[in-house]
Chains A and B, each alone.
Chain A
Amino acid sequence: MTALPTPSQTVGPFFAIMTALGSNELVAPGAPGAMEIHGQVFDGAGDPVGDALIELWQANRAGRYAHPADDRELLLDPDFTGWGRCHTRPDGSFRFITVKPGPVPGDGEVLQAPHINVSVFARGLLNRLATRIYFGDEARANAADPVLVALGDDARESLIAAPDGPSAFRFDIRLQGERETAFFAI
């Protein structure tokens, strides 16, 4: 028996009624390895998107996902779920406190560079947009990452968060236009 997947619909502007679950702090500020990821979401006119919902899903510092499909013998941290959620402020800004994930397996033997999986929802987005955050201080790992190397220069560039002060990275999300963020079909 097979069935059609249920179609996606926009999150709309009023999702805050249900976002009491989840935090933009995946770890406490000041925890070992804690870093900040901040940025803004922009639309095709370059205006900030002040009603977006951003979710992160990531492995821990050792590179292990807190999920049964990841059964590698790497340290699991009971306090780190790897999931966070944040809605943008009126200026389109968001901010997460988390740790940089370790490398995780890719297709075959190749390790993927450290990355965070991102879901973007907003009024005007009929589907969830999936993207990834890579890190600008991981040049060697990024150069070998099987997902990044398959992308054109602009798309690859759009996924790399720039170091922005001590223990901080900047990652802007451009929904549309010249410097549009690369979004994946997953």
Chain B
Amino acid sequence: MDGERMSVHPPQLYPAYRSTVLRAPSRPLIPLKPTLSEITGPLFGEETLGPFDDDLTRQHAGEPQGQRIIVAGRVTDGGGQPIPHTLVEVWQANAAGRYAHEADKHAAPLDPNFTGGGRCLTDGEGRYRFTTIKPGAYPWANHPNAWRPAHIHFSLFGPSHASRLITQMYFEGDPLLRYDPILESVPDPTARECLVAAFDTDLTEEGWALGYRFDIVLGGPGATPSEDA
């Protein structure tokens, strides 16, 4: 697990992302052999969901500004098995690159028709699907002329406490990707690539919305690929 954490997940301390400097734990994580506490975790059902939780373009009286997109994919474990009926949460900035959050002071307009939060459950085959608008890039104070590439935050639970994951999805072809220390903190370029959603003509709906595919693989006990596989 330590090896996996080092190669796939970012390090705790990544000074180019300034906020890690005073927040990253300085001691190595303590290995913990999975017990019932780690192999169980919260489960969520349909009662968790509101009517337009999977369509971020229909949560207000009017339609939000921006490029309408469909983001969809499959949630699997490391062995390729689908994770059915698991909760997927998303949040994002609006098309202008502004979050509907009081702490976001970026001088870009709020959109009265866009909050930017959504959730859904995967189906029996581990598939999820959101309709939303493409978020805008936005400046942040990390370094001179720093801009976050367009991204959507994803929160996943999977089957256990151990499989809990929060991550970010980026968009293929974004020129800001290579300047972003948060994405660049993932040490392995192949793993980094997993966070970049590909434009997908099959998901694209004619005359309606562009499609992006983002598949997610959750770790956790029993789901870690073996070294020789």
Which residues on B sit within 8 Å (CB–CB) of A31? none
Q: From residue 102 to 117 of chain B, which have CB atoms closer than 8 A to chain A?
A: 103-104, 115-117
Q: Is A37 an interface residue (CB 8 A)?
A: no
A183 to B5 Cα, complex, angstroms: 14
Stretch in A116-124, A136-144, A162-170 touching the partner:
A116-124
A176 and B22 within 8 A (CB): yes
Which residues on B sit within 8 Å (CB–CB) of A47? 22
Which residues on A sit within 8 Å (CB–CB) of B25? 129, 175-176, 180-181, 183
> Pick the contact of A124 from B23, B29, B104 — CB < 8 Å?
B23
B149 → chain A closest CB, angstroms: 12
Q: Is B124 an interface residue (CB 8 A)?
A: no
Which residues on B sit within 8 Å (CB–CB) of A132? 37
Contact with A along B33-46 (1 / 0, CB 8 A): 11111111111100
Q: Is B136 an interface residue (CB 8 A)?
A: no
> Pick the contact of A14 from B32, B79, B104 — CB < 8 Å?
B104
A14-B99, A69-B36 as given contacts; A186 in contact with B161, CB under 8 Å: yes
Q: Is A76 an interface residue (CB 8 A)?
A: no
Q: From residue 1 to 45 of chain A, which have CB atoms closer than 8 A to chain B?
A: 1-18, 20-21, 43-45
B179 → chain A closest CB, angstroms: 16
Q: Is B178 an interface residue (CB 8 A)?
A: no
Give how many A residues have a beta carbon under 8 Å from the other chain's beta carbons. Answer: 69
Q: Is B84 an interface residue (CB 8 A)?
A: no
A13 → chain B closest CB, angstroms: 6
A176 to B223 Cα, complex, angstroms: 30
A180 to B29 Cα, complex, angstroms: 11
Interface of chain A: mostly helix, strand, loop or mixed: loop
With contacts defined as CB atoms under 8 Å apart, how many contacts are there between chain A and chain B in the complex? 239
A152 → chain B closest CB, angstroms: 10
Which residues on B sit within 8 Å (CB–CB) of A129? 25
Which residues on B sit within 8 Å (CB–CB) of A45? 22
Which residues on B sit within 8 Å (CB–CB) of A1? 79-80
B78 and A2 within 8 A (CB): yes
Q: Is B10 an interface residue (CB 8 A)?
A: yes
Q: Is A115 an interface residue (CB 8 A)?
A: yes
B20 → chain A closest CB, angstroms: 5
Residue of chain B at shortest CB distance from A126: B10
A107 and B33 within 8 A (CB): yes
Contact with A along B4-37 (1 / 0, CB 8 A): 1100111110100111111111110111111111
Residue of chain B at shortest CB distance from A44: B22
A157 to B30 Cα, complex, angstroms: 14
A104-B35, A124-B19, A175-B23 as given contacts; A6 in contact with B41, CB under 8 Å: no
Residue of chain B at shortest CB distance from A84: B42
Residue of chain B at shortest CB distance from A45: B22
A12 and B10 within 8 A (CB): no
B146 → chain A closest CB, angstroms: 14
Stretch in B64-72, B126-134, B185-193, B204-212 touching the partner:
B185-193
Enumerate 15 A-B pairs (CB-CB under 8 Å) in ascending A order. Answer: A5-B217, A7-B192, A8-B9, A11-B166, A13-B103, A17-B101, A47-B22, A66-B43, A70-B36, A83-B42, A124-B19, A126-B11, A129-B25, A147-B35, A175-B23
